[in-house]
Amino acid sequence: MSGTNDHRPLIAVVGSFSAERDYRPPLTDPGGLRNACEEIGGEIARRGCDLLVFSGKEKYAETAAARGFLAASEAGPRTVVARLARHQQYTLEPGPESGARIRVVRDPSGEWEVPYYRALMETDGIVLAGGGRSTRVTGILALAQEIPVAPVSVFGAAAEQVWVHLDRTRNRATDEDLALLGGPWTDTSAGDLVDGLLRQAGERAREAARRRRAERRARFPERSGLLTAAAFLIASLACLVGISAAPDGPVGFAAMVAGPMFAAMAGALIRDSFGAEQEALKAVVRGLGAGVVSVLLFLSAQLLLNPEALQENVALLRLSFFLIPVGFTAGFTFDLVFDRLRRAELLRPPELAAPHQQQQDAGAAPPS
């Protein structure tokens, strides 16, 4: 959860109950709403949460909630987080026996909208009480972002409108939650409301943890494929060392063949990492197949031109500096290699034309 420390969730209270304001829908009981907000603030403190507020003016619901929060003397250490614009002041202070503290966080923008909406994204739950257009926008934003929201609709105003939207966009709210928020206010309503918010916040946190685990699992094939490709590349370079250190014979020849094969598999895995879905096993097999064909055709051409090319390790080492890039390129472009194979282009290299044809071409008279 996103509280002010690793243990305490952060709950915001948003709304207003000004007697001088014309609310649509009407605000039915401003005094009752003020008392309800104080009860909600006290229950937020008793549930071990911190309270997020944006103003200390008496007409706002968060001020009443902060009074109840600070007055909950039986609650443990807790914090009122006041997110304010740089010109605003917060005058509410905890009593001498209160275990609460007030932490003021100022935004350099100078406008209340910026710290307000930014802070809402960091909360674990939002209580809406009364309010006008800003309260309604807050509720719609919370529903869109799947932030647990509790609109106290029994007192009317914007919270009632959000309660109607909550019935359509449930997110994690249950029928019991909707009945509580739409029913008459009782002595247990505040505690049940906070419990419902915390339950939804817990479900949201668990869902987020599951998504993070799923994302890590989804990235594992790509990471493991790239690590394997790096290992294959190192192995191909190690084959160069093996050729130079081995005596003339089959060991050096085996290292010469293995080097480009490792490089081909590395190239195929690196190519596979660019795709939307990684299929490492298919990439390795396809890269190995393309590498085998390309390297053997390259070697066959060398042997036809120079049958003694593979007799000494010095020659093998010299060839390997060509074969490893050939293998890597074949693996990285295995689709092109197989396409040319299907069209038999790799089996008809121009440099292997028939000798008697070359002699005829050389002895032919130049055109007049």
Of 165, 185, 205, the last residue of a domain is 185
**Whether the predicted pLDDT of 360 surpasses 70:** no
Residue count (the chain)? 368
Start-to-end CA span in the chain (Å): 90
The parent domain of residue 228 ranges over: 217-350
- The 8-class DSSP code of residue 54 comes to S
- Is residue 19 a part of any domain in this protein? yes
- Is residue 137 a part of any domain in this protein? yes
Is 25 found in the same domain as 116?
yes
pLDDT band at 348 (very low <50, low <70, confident <90, very high): low
pLDDT digits (tens, 9 = 90+) for 259-318: 999 999 999 999 988 877 778 888 899 999 999 988 888 888 888 887 777 777 788 888
- Is residue 196 a part of any domain in this protein? no
**Whether the predicted pLDDT of 335 surpasses 90:** no
Secondary-structure percent of the chain, ordered helix, strand, coil, rounded to 5: 60, 10, 30
Mean pLDDT of 311-340: 86
- The 8-class DSSP code of residue 128 comes to E
Is 33 found in the same domain as 88?
yes
Backbone Cα Rg of the chain: 37
Is 221 found in the same domain as 138?
no
pLDDT of residue 352: 45
Distance of CA 93 to the CA centre of its chain: 40
CB-based contacts of 53, cutoff 8 Å, min separation 6: 12, 13, 60, 62, 63, 65, 66, 80, 81, 82, 83, 90
pLDDT digits (tens, 9 = 90+) for 179-209: 999 999 999 999 999 999 999 999 999 999 9
- Is residue 362 a part of any domain in this protein? no
Distance CA 90, CA 263 (A): 66
Is 284 found in the same domain as 344?
yes
Provide the CATH number for the domain around residue 67: 3.40.50.450
pLDDT digits (tens, 9 = 90+) for 94-134: 766 677 888 988 887 767 777 788 889 999 999 999 999 99
pLDDT of residue 32: 94
Is 238 found in the same domain as 102?
no
Is 180 found in the same domain as 225?
no
The answer to whether 4 and 81 have CB atoms below 8 angstroms apart is yes
The answer to whether 131 and 156 have CB atoms below 8 angstroms apart is no
Distance CA 365, CA 368 (A): 9
Tokens 């930014």 sit at which residue? 118
Structure tokens, 180: 């509580």
Which residues share a beta bridge with 128? 14, 151
Burial 206-229 (b: 16+ CB within 10 A, else e): eeeeeeeeeeeeeeeebeebbebb
pLDDT digits (tens, 9 = 90+) for 8-19: 899 999 999 998
pLDDT of residue 345: 62
- Number of domains, the chain: 2
Number of Cβ atoms within 10 Å of the Cβ of 231 = 14
- Is residue 199 a part of any domain in this protein? no
Give the global pTM.
Answer: 0.67
pLDDT digits (tens, 9 = 90+) for 22-71: 998 999 999 999 999 999 999 999 999 999 999 888 999 999 999 999 98
**Whether the predicted pLDDT of 139 surpasses 90:** yes
Mean pLDDT of 318-338: 89
